[in-house]
Amino acid sequence: MPVDPLTDNLIHRINVGDSLTRSASRTPSAEAVVEGDRRLTYVELNALVNRVANALSARGLEHGDAVALASGNSTEFLVTYYACAKTGLVCVPINLGWRPHEVAHVLADSAAKALVVEAGLIDVIAPSLADADDVTRVVVVGDHAGDVAERPTEPFTALAAHDDAAEPEHLIGDRDPLTYLYTSGTTSAPKGVIGNHAAVYLESMTMAIEGQFRGDDRFAAMMPMFHTAQLNCHCTTAVMVGASLHVLRGFDAEVLLGLIEAEGLTQIFGLPMMYRAMLDHPTVGDRDLSTLRRALYAMAPMPQETLRRCLDVFGCGFYLLFGQTEMSPTTTIFRPEHQLSHPGAAGTPVANVHVEIMGEDGTILPRGETGEIVYRGPHTMTGYLGNAEATEAAFAHGWFHSGDVGRLDDEGLLWFTDRSKDVIKSGGENVASIEVEKALYAAEPGVSEAVVVGLPHAHWSEAITAFVVPSPGAELDPEAIRTAMREHLDAYKVPKAVVVVDALPKTSTGKVQKHVVRDAHADLYAEIPR
């Protein structure tokens, strides 16, 4: 007698929600989520997710419907994400750094049927609902009375109090969409990256292998959960192995140092600037940080001096994550054993990703040659939502095109040169901005942060220009920096100007917005000829 499709699906499928179900069955009393004074075991978290999932279904949301999620890091964020996974809904996290018109575009483009929003964000999100005709249901996390943009609201607690905590049973395909994660739109509207269950599930397994995640690990989840690196590299992997997630609303050096000591955290994930802030904290030398096993950094290179201090102070292995949203996101890991021996590398490919370098004609280039970094593997996105042209271009020649430039060496290490759009064309030469940034850090230890861009110039076409933020108490001499950089770079790669600034514009995930820097200083060389 043939097995019916739902039964067969439940037996064989790959679904991110099932990883929570299995951890709750395997280690029911293990601590899953800690947020302030709130602590949930795996069996408690799973039951809460099931109640919310069944409540969403009871309110008429069906397989494939999109649910927008506007929230900072919270237990409710995770619950909503896993509830969507278990019911075949598509979670659409809202980047809290977006402007109203970008949020409006995402709500309309995803055709979101419902919105889960924190009470404190309602005033920010409400204007974006004006043209989001598909959003008919608004669920509010926290205290709020009244409608939102003329739509009735319901408290999240009502979903959490649903009377059915049984495992939802829905037919969900392995490659059905799990998330629409939108890329930052620097020159156009954000594109929706369709992340599917198999891609995220297998990426989570990859991180468990490559990051050596264990069930007794305790993670700090302080990077934004609406970003793929925190959500699909760490949160989903921690849940898969049955580890504990300590949810933080953001980064605070004193808070994180205290949490490592008080809760015995074993793994942390942050930006280089966050590690520098902890290194410079006056109490860091008095803290017991001995429970740390591994520390991950991403979004920016770690200057060697900072890295050496980190290894000394934190006493654990450091590794760099490299990838992008379209790859769910991990593609290579710059491993602890390579941190000091191969400074500047992006690492070696992870278990489920094939990395090659492609020429402009679509041929795979030999080791050592520079070209576009391309990928194959089950982590890859399904495509761009409603954008067949962009999807076709991204998958040209049978590979996913990263838009990054780099090379593979004979040892299999990937060396990232730059984003193709950030390569500076100066005086007939192509100069990688990241190479100049690394040289700047090496030449001047008093630089806290640096970014290098090309600015319009009558003679050079694009003039290599550095913008630097001084470390606390440091006084920077731009001309002295330029002179010192000549010991690390060919003369034509030395910036035509070094500009000292108080801060650099960043995305909500801490990545410097080079396009904002370029736009703000486009007239620099018109005002100051060189």
Task: Give pLDDT tens digits for 486-529.
Answer: 999 888 899 999 999 999 998 877 778 888 999 899 999 986 54
**Residue that terminates a domain, selected from 419, 446, 477:** 419
Percent of the chain with pLDDT over 90: 83
Among the listed ranges 132-136, 253-257, 416-420, which one has the minimum average pLDDT value? Answer: 416-420
Question: How far is 383 from 69, CA to CA, in rounded Å?
Answer: 21
Q: Do the beta carbons of residue 61 and residue 84 sit within 8 Å?
A: no
Question: How far is 197 from 176, CA to CA, in rounded Å?
Answer: 6
**pLDDT over threshold 60, residue 462:** yes
Question: How far is 171 from 5, CA to CA, in rounded Å?
Answer: 7
**What is the predicted pLDDT for the residue at 421?**
75
| 213 within some domain | no
Question: How far is 512 from 301, CA to CA, in rounded Å?
Answer: 12
- Helix, strand, coil fractions of the chain, as percent rounded to 5: 35, 25, 40
Q: Which residues pair with 195 in a beta bridge?
A: 179
Q: Are residues 278 and 339 in the same domain?
A: yes
| 373 within some domain | yes
Q: Which of 349, 323, 320 is nearest to 408 (CA)?
A: 349
**What is the predicted pLDDT for the residue at 317?**
96
**What is the predicted pLDDT for the residue at 527?**
60
Q: Are residues 440 and 401 in the same domain?
A: no
Q: Are residues 134 and 266 in the same domain?
A: no
| 313 within some domain | yes
Once rounded to an integer, what is the mean pLDDT over residues 301-312?
89
Among the listed ranges 242-256, 300-314, 361-375, which one has the minimum average pLDDT value? Answer: 300-314
| 233 within some domain | no
Please tell me whether residue 289 adopts helix, strand or coil conformation. Answer: coil
Query: What is the band of 431 on the pLDDT scale with cuts at 50, 70, 90?
Result: confident
pTM: 0.86
Q: Which residues pair with 138 in a beta bridge?
A: 115, 153
Once rounded to an integer, what is the mean pLDDT over residues 56-64?
98
**pLDDT over threshold 60, residue 26:** yes
| Total domains, the chain | 3
* CATH code of the domain containing 180: 3.40.50.980
* CATH code of the domain containing 483: 3.30.300.30
**Number of other CB atoms surrounding residue 148 within 10 Å:** 20
**What is the predicted pLDDT for the residue at 184?**
66
Question: How far is 263 from 257, CA to CA, in rounded Å?
Answer: 10
Burial class (CB in 10 A: 0-12, 13-18, 19+), 529: exposed
Q: Do the beta carbons of residue 86 and residue 53 sit within 8 Å?
A: yes
Q: Are residues 102 and 31 in the same domain?
A: yes
Q: Which residues pair with 177 in a beta bridge?
A: 196
Rg (CA), the chain: 24
**What is the predicted pLDDT for the residue at 529?**
45
Q: Are residues 414 and 272 in the same domain?
A: yes
| 236 within some domain | no
Query: What is the band of 97 on the pLDDT scale with cuts at 50, 70, 90?
Result: confident
Percent of the chain with pLDDT over 70: 98
Q: Are residues 389 and 466 in the same domain?
A: no
Question: How far is 474 from 211, CA to CA, in rounded Å?
Answer: 36
**What is the predicted pLDDT for the residue at 530?**
43
Q: Do the beta carbons of residue 488 and residue 160 sit within 8 Å?
A: no
Q: Are residues 257 and 387 in the same domain?
A: yes
Task: Give pLDDT tens digits for 215-225.
Answer: 999 999 999 99
Q: Are residues 180 and 273 in the same domain?
A: no
Kindly report the average pLDDT of the chain as a whole number.
93
Among the listed ranges 20-34, 226-240, 413-427, which one has the minimum average pLDDT value? Answer: 413-427
Q: Are residues 341 and 292 in the same domain?
A: yes
| 207 within some domain | no
**What is the predicted pLDDT for the residue at 207?**
97
Beta pairing class for 497-500 and 461-470: parallel
| Size (the chain), residues | 530
| 412 within some domain | yes
Q: Which residues pair with 220 in a beta bridge?
A: 246
Identity of the highest mean pLDDT range in 72-81, 126-135, 508-517 = 72-81
Amino acid at 46: N
Task: Give CA separation, 316 vs 139, 311, 386, 468, in Å.
Answer: 42, 6, 44, 29
Q: Are residues 449 and 388 in the same domain?
A: no
Residues spanned by the domain of 414: 251-419
**Residue that terminates a domain, selected from 172, 199, 226:** 199
Q: Are residues 356 and 433 in the same domain?
A: no
**pLDDT over threshold 90, residue 168:** yes
Query: What is the band of 17 on the pLDDT scale with cuts at 50, 70, 90?
Result: very high
Q: Are residues 294 and 341 in the same domain?
A: yes
Query: What is the band of 248 on the pLDDT scale with cuts at 50, 70, 90?
Result: very high
| 20 within some domain | yes
Task: Give pLDDT tens digits for 261-283.
Answer: 999 999 999 988 899 899 999 99
**Residue that terminates a domain, selected from 401, 419, 437:** 419
Task: Give pLDDT tens digits for 180-211.
Answer: 999 865 446 789 999 999 999 999 999 999 99
Among the listed ranges 77-86, 257-266, 406-415, 490-499, which one has the minimum average pLDDT value? Answer: 490-499
Once rounded to an integer, what is the mean pLDDT over residues 98-115?
94
**What is the predicted pLDDT for the residue at 422?**
81
**pLDDT over threshold 70, residue 428:** no
